[in-house]
Chain A
Amino acid sequence: MADVWITGIGLVTALGCDRETTWSRLIRGESGVAPLRLFDTTGYRTHLAAQVDDSCLALPRCATAALRHASRTSRLGIAATAEALADAGLAGEPVEHRPWAVVFGGGSAGLFEAESFLQRRLSRGVRTRALNEFLEVPQDASTDRVAEAFSLAGPRLTVTTACSSSTVAVGLAAEMVGGGEVAVALAGGADGLCRLTFAGFNSLRAVDDAPAKPFDRRRKGLNLGEGAAVLVLEDAHHARARGARPYARVLGYGITADAFHMTQPDASGAAWERTIRAALADAGITPEEVDYINAHGTATEQNDPAEVAAYRRVFGERLALIPVSSVKGALGHCLCGAGGIEAAITALAVARGMVPPTAGFAEPDPACPVDPVPGVGRPWPIRVAISSSFAFGGNSAALVLGKTR
C-alpha cells in the first residue's frame, strides 16, 4: 500500500465557514451550540443545535448550474470541497472530468427541503408542486452535487452507516488511493439539520436541553449539529511531485459491527474494542504508540462510559496519559458528517501539535476516567492519533492518522 497523505482540508461548521475559523474558535474552547433558527422548534423538547450560519452557504464562486435547487446539505459539501481543493493547491487543475474519486458519508442529504414537500403532500395530495424539493432525498445526492460542481469523473461512493458514515468514507478513500486505484480522492461528508433527526433524537430522549457535556458527570445527551468536512487524500508520490505539503498520513482504519442493538452500545466496551484493535492492526501500530484520541463522545448517558470502557480495554492504565477529547460539545453531533469533521480536526491536531478541548466538560465522571482536555486546546506532540465513530446500528469505525516523516 502506498503512503496516503492528507494534503487539503475544508471545514464548514457551526464555529465557522472555513477551516481556520473553526479551528481557532475550537481551540479557544468556544461552542457553536445556540438556539436553532432553521425551523420552528415549538413542540420539541429541546431548542438548541449547532447550526451553520447561512452566510457559509452563499458560495459566490460556484457555477450557478451546480447550485440550482441544491439542498442545504449539498451546499455545505460544495463549500467544504471548494476550500479543500484550494488548500491542496488543486483548485486550478483542469476542470474537464477530473479523474479523482469522491467518497462521502451521506445521511440526511436533501431531507430538510423534502420535509417541506412532504408536509404539503400530506395535505394537498398528488398534485403537490415543487417536486424538485424531493430530488435530493437519496443519501448520495450531495455526493452527486459535489461531483457535478467540481466535474469529478472518478469512482464515486456514498457510505451510509449513520454516524460513522464519513469516517468509513475516509478509510475507504485512503484504501483506494493506497491501492493505486486513484491518485487523489476527496473524502468526508456533509450532513444538515432537519426536523426528522431533531424529532427522532428528541423521541429517544438522547438530547440535552442545555449545551452537551461529553464525559461530564452531569451529561444528559447530545446537541445535534450540521456541517461538512472534505479531506484531500493523495498518493504521497503524487503529492511530493507537485510540492504539496501534508497535514498527516492515513495509516489505517478499522470497521466492525457491534451486532448488539440498533441504538444501545455494548456497555462492556468489548464491541468497540474490536473496532479500535482492527484499526491499529490495519495501521501496523501498537497501543503504546497512540498519543491522542478524538473520541466519538456524544455526551449521552450510556455512550460515553461504553466508549471509555473500550479504550481501557485497549490501552489499559496508559489511557490516563492519553488526551481523549470530543469536539461534539462545540460542533454538535453532525451525524453522517461527524466522522469527516472529526478526522479533519484530528489531522489538524496532528499537524499542529495541539489537541482540541472538550467544550462543556467541567465535572469528571468516575464512569469516564479519561483526560478530556477541559477548557482550551493543549499543545501536545502527536505522532499517532485515533478518530473514532460509533453509530446507530452498531456500525463502528476508527481511523488512525499519523505525522508525516
Chain B
Amino acid sequence: MGAVTAAGTGVPALIDALGQPTWQPELGLERPDAPPLPVATCRGFSPQPHLPPLVARRLDRPARLLAVAAKEALRTAGETLPWPRDEVGVTAGTANAGTEALVEVLKVVFLASPEEAPPMQFPSTVANAPASQLAILEKLGGPNLTFAEKQAGGLRALVEAGRLLTRRRAAAVLASGVDEAQWLNAEAYHRLRFSRRSPLGRGPILGEGAAVLLLAPAGNLPALARLVGWGAAALPVPTHLYPTSGEALARAAAQALQSAGVAAADLDLVMSVHSGSRPLARLEVEGLIGALGAHRPAAVAVTDRLGEGAFASALRALVAVLALGGTPIAWPAPAHLAALGFPSLSAPPRTALVTAVAGGGSAVAAVLTAP
C-alpha cells in the first residue's frame, strides 16, 4: 500500500498521525483573488526523491500524487514484480483530477486566444491522466480504468479491481483514489455551504491525496488483508446532494456482507463515511442500522480530518487494512455513531466494512478481512 495525505508522504506518516488522538491537519488552500479556503492539502509534498525531476516535470499534481503513492505500494512487491507488467492493471477513482489543467487551458482560451491553448497541458485535463501516466511510468499494460463517482470513486476503484481479478482480466491491480486540492472546486464546495462551518469538527472539509492498494490473488506475496466481498446500490437524487435516506447504503452494505459470506454480527470494524456533514451522518446511521441491525462494531472515521473526496474512500480502505494488520488507531469513533453505541477501536479487528456514499446517491461497500 501507499499513501500521500495531509499527514505526509508515505504510509508511516499516516500511521504516525493515526496514533495521535488529537492530530489535526493544517488547513488552507490559496485562491487567486480571495481568502484561502479550509482544505486539507498535502502541504510540503514533493515528488522528489520519489520521481526523477524530468519525469515529475511532465506530470501534473494528481499524477505526481498517484505516482508517488503507487511507487510505495509497488515497493512492497519487491524489486521485481512477480507478474508480467502487461498483466498489472490500474484502477483509480477521482473527483477532480484534471480540473486545474482544465482551468489553466480555459484561462488561455478566454483571456488570450483559443489558438494559444497549451497543447502540453490539454492531455492532463482528462480525468484518466493520473492512472494513464502511472501506467506509462511503470510500464503497466493491464486494464487501466478511472471511475468518477464523486466521494465513492476510490472505493469503486477498489471493488472494480476485485472484479478485474475475479474475472482474470489482470494478474494484479493497483487500486487507488486520487484528488488534488483545486481552488475552483473548493470554492464551489464552500459556496454550496458544505464547508461553510469549518474549521474541523463543525463541518466537512475537502482533502487532497492519493491512496493505493496493491491487489493480487493469494499466493505470490504475503497478504496484508483480503477483499472478500462488495456491493453497490443507489438512490436517484440530484447530482450534488446526498440522499435523505440511508437505504442505498444499507443495501450496498448488506450485499457486501452477503457476497463476503460474513454475518453482520461477525463484523469488528466499520470505517465511517463521517466527514462532518450532518446529512451524511444521518444517512449513515440509518444505513448502518439497516445493514447491521443491533450489532455495534468499532467505528473509525478519518475523512473528517484528512478531508473529503474520491481519494478519501480509498484511504478508508487503506486504514482498514492497517487496522486489520494491528496498527493502533487512536482516533475515536465519530460522535453520531458513538452515541448509538459504536465504540472506538481498541483491539485489532478481524473483519472490516468500508463504505462510501456519493453526491447523486450512489453507495458502495466492501468487506475486508485479516489474512
Contact = CB atoms under 8 A, between A and B. Distances in A.
A162 B133 CA distance: 13
A144 B147 CA distance: 14
Nearest to A136: B239
B149 A158 contact: yes
Interface stretch (A51-59, A197-205, A240-248, A321-329): A197-205
B79 interface: no
A135 interface: yes
Contact of A147 (B139, B140, B192, B236): B236
Contacts of A255: 143-145, 169
A251 B163 CA distance: 18
B237 interface: yes
17 contacts: A97-B236, A122-B107, A138-B239, A139-B148, A140-B149, A140-B150, A144-B359, A145-B239, A153-B233, A155-B233, A157-B156, A157-B160, A172-B160, A255-B169, A257-B141, A257-B144, A259-B139
B297 interface: no
B34 A200 contact: no
B164 to A, nearest CB: 8
A271 B117 contact: no
A62 B42 CA distance: 44
B232 interface: yes
Nearest to B166: A179
Contact of B132 (A121, A135, A149, A395): A395
Given A153-B234, A393-B131, A203 B117 contact: yes
B136 A156 contact: no
Nearest to A168: B145
Given A144-B361, A393-B131, A202 B115 contact: yes
- The 4 A-B residue pairs with the shortest CB-CB distance, nearest first, are A393-B132, A144-B360, A257-B144, A139-B148
A395 B147 CA distance: 13
A45 B116 CA distance: 11
B286 interface: no
Contacts of A159: 145-148
Interface in B83-132: 85-86, 89-90, 95-96, 99, 102-103, 105-107, 109-111, 113-115, 117-119, 122-123, 125-129, 131-132
Contacts of B119: 200, 203-205
Nearest to A263: B123
Interface string A344-356: 0000000000000
B188 interface: yes
A203 B122 contact: yes
A38 to B, nearest CB: 14
A7 interface: no
A175 B362 contact: no
Contacts of A131: 188, 191-192
A204 B192 CA distance: 36
Contacts of A43: 113-115
A144 B142 contact: no
Contacts of A162: 126, 128
Interface of B: 31, 33-34, 85-86, 89-90, 95-96, 99, 102-103, 105-107, 109-111, 113-115, 117-119, 122-123, 125-129, 131-133, 135-136, 138-150, 156, 160, 163, 167, 169, 184, 187-188, 191-192, 232-240, 248, 358-362
A196 B191 contact: no
B148 A256 contact: no
Contacts of A259: 85, 135-136, 138-141
B135 A203 contact: no
B360 A147 contact: yes
B236 A151 contact: yes
A144 B358 CA distance: 10
Given A45-B115, A137-B99, A152-B236, 4 more contacts: A135-B239, A140-B149, A155-B234, A394-B144
Contacts of A137: 99, 188
Interface in A365-405: 391-395
Nearest to A147: B236
A200 B122 contact: yes
Contacts of A138: 95-96, 148, 150, 239
A203 B118 CA distance: 7
B236 A257 contact: no
A393 B126 contact: yes
Given A161-B144, A262-B136, A154 B233 contact: yes
Nearest to A162: B126
A257 B142 contact: yes
Contacts of A301: none
Interface range for A: 35 or more
Contacts of B107: 122
A333 B234 CA distance: 31
Contact of B110 (A119, A141, A278): A119
A106 interface: yes
Contacts of A111: 102
A3 interface: no
A60 B273 CA distance: 39
A146 to B, nearest CB: 9
Contacts of A121: 184
A259 B96 CA distance: 23
Interface in A2-16: none
Contact of B148 (A106, A118, A151, A282): A106
B33 A274 contact: no
A260 B139 CA distance: 8
B234 A393 contact: no
B237 A148 contact: yes
Contacts of B359: 144
Most chain A CB atoms below 10 A, which of B114, B119, B187: B114
A140 B139 CA distance: 28
Contacts of A151: 236
B145 A161 contact: yes
B97 to A, nearest CB: 9
A261 interface: yes
Contact of A199 (B117, B144, B146, B232): B117
A315 interface: no
Contacts of A203: 115, 117-119, 122
Interface string A333-350: 000000000000000000
A256 B184 CA distance: 33
Nearest to A164: B128
Contacts of A278: 169
Contacts of A391: 128
B44 to A, nearest CB: 27
B83 to A, nearest CB: 14
A125 interface: yes
Contacts of A125: 33-34
Interface in A179-216: 195-196, 198-205
Given A151-B236, A393-B131, A256 B146 contact: no
B149 A157 contact: yes
Given A255-B143, A391-B128, A126 B31 contact: yes
Given A126-B31, A274-B86, A140 B148 contact: yes
